[in-house]
A and B are shown apart, each in its own frame.
Chain A
């Protein structure tokens, strides 16, 4: 079965979505990722979508679900690398993507994750806006 690879990078997990995902693959990723968060006791997840040419409501919802599930498992999520055309389209589509932290690239995403995790340790559990 086709799967999207999840890489462990220190204390974080990195998911690079490089294929045009059909819906079932997106749901498999959700299951795999939550499993890996627990297995590796990861506190942060980076999802690189720079290769994604579109984000529709299904994929948007999947990203939001992953962020919520990860949060319940004590991990923060940052979505990195969204293409400008995708951002423009998402707003017009009406998908607010609130509750999802974003960063321009993986490096900035790592910084954002470290900040988010520190905030979480300071007792601010509402770190997902």
Chain B
């Protein structure tokens, strides 16, 4: 199978283990380019673990082990010759809690590009990234202030700007709005809609309404008897939330299970 076509990322029989414990079982998924895919499911269903395996974030956990394939541009990102740092540049990640560096707003955005030895105009890159993250107008007059001086919602958009600045193709988001108030949450959702014009977005969310509101595709995960997470159903979001094919999905999204 090849991803050199319509898919931005493809997993084949993905299994993730923490030591003896299997956290993700046999997940095969195809993520559409320039679309938003939401991963939903009850706590412990492996959705965040799966997400972290999409850019080798699990490498940072000693006992984590991955089997199966994650194909990016037709190549398994777990191939020994693949550089995980390069993968993480191409496939960025935004976390649940905003985690700006204790540095200026400007330096937060410029950070990744500097490490990569970016040759162009840094001012332009910073402005462009902040504009794409819908934060520019709010911070353009205080770029030298600490990133930590911003509100929670602004900090999260700063983290998104930081992720964008290294020109990734895919942005992974692990509950990016769960620590934010409703208004800030809606701003992030709106921003994600803008971002999909240029990026492929894969988002883990506990908030079903958020998945329904803001994604194009939804993958529903749940846990099997051995507490390993697996994929139950994957479909267009509109279909999955109005007429799911699988009884487990129906029970979960109507709130009668989980």
A binds B: no
